[in-house]
Amino acid sequence: MKTTCLLLPFTHGVEMEVLEYAVLLAKSRNATLVSLSLIPVPKDRGARLEDVQQSKDFLEAVQQKAMRHGVCVERLEVFTSATIESINTVAQTMQIGGILLFVRDGEGVLLSTYLIKRLMEREAYKLYITRLQSVGSKRELFKRFSGWLAGLWNSQGNMVETEAPLEGDMLVEKVEVGQTLHVGMPGKE
């Protein structure tokens, strides 16, 4: 039996909860997660050092999360001036079963909104688009965090043991999770 591969493309913005979600999605589908870091290389100059470092951080973070959850992962790093073409080439070569994409508040996460739109226009592969919940304002985030900290102390002012959050306790709204989009293909499921 052939193992399904899910492609997780990345160009910027390592977000640990999103990587965790991608790993858990691959696990739920008994799939190999192909973490693809795309380092932009403008035609007139070389890659930026911070892009290379962010790529290494992404690949290592995915590897660590995959090991913790027992998910097979393949790591790829591609220097490119043609991001969409590189994604399609890797997807075709690896015979992937779908591409994992994440959005929050209408903006792309891990990939730019522009690249996500371009992938949707291509209609070449199943796209698993996950809408992430808004983090909210700084004040709301501070209230959540301070409320969580307050729960760690008992009435005598001593630190108390708490359970670790469950895997499902991520800031993820389960809208469109695992839905396959067939953009511009009416009548097809």
Q: What is the per-residue pLDDT across 81-116, written as a single tens digit (0 to 9) for each?
A: 999 999 999 999 998 999 999 999 889 999 999 999
Confirm if 130 and 168 have CB atoms less than 8 A apart: no
**Which residue is it, tokens 């591409």?**
99
Confirm if 11 and 40 have CB atoms less than 8 A apart: yes
DSSP 28: H
Neighbour tally for 90: CB within 10 Å: 20
Residue 164: the pLDDT is: 36
Query: Is pLDDT larger for residue 70 or for residue 1?
Result: 70
Q: With 0-12 CB in 10 A as exposed, 13-18 as middle and 19+ as buried, what is 118?
A: middle
Residue 145: the pLDDT is: 53
Confirm if 129 and 9 have CB atoms less than 8 A apart: no
Percent of the chain's residues with pLDDT above 90: 55
- 139-174 per-position pLDDT tens digit: 455 555 555 444 544 444 444 443 333 333 333 333
Task: Give dist(CA 183, CA 44) in Å, integer.
Answer: 34
**Alpha helices of 29-166 — where are they, by DSSP H?**
49-69, 83-94, 113-122, 138-150
- 26-78 per-position pLDDT tens digit: 999 999 999 999 999 988 888 888 999 999 999 999 999 999 999 999 999 99
Complete domains list, the chain, with CATH? 5-132 (3.40.50.620)
Task: Give dist(CA 75, CA 37) in Å, integer.
Answer: 8
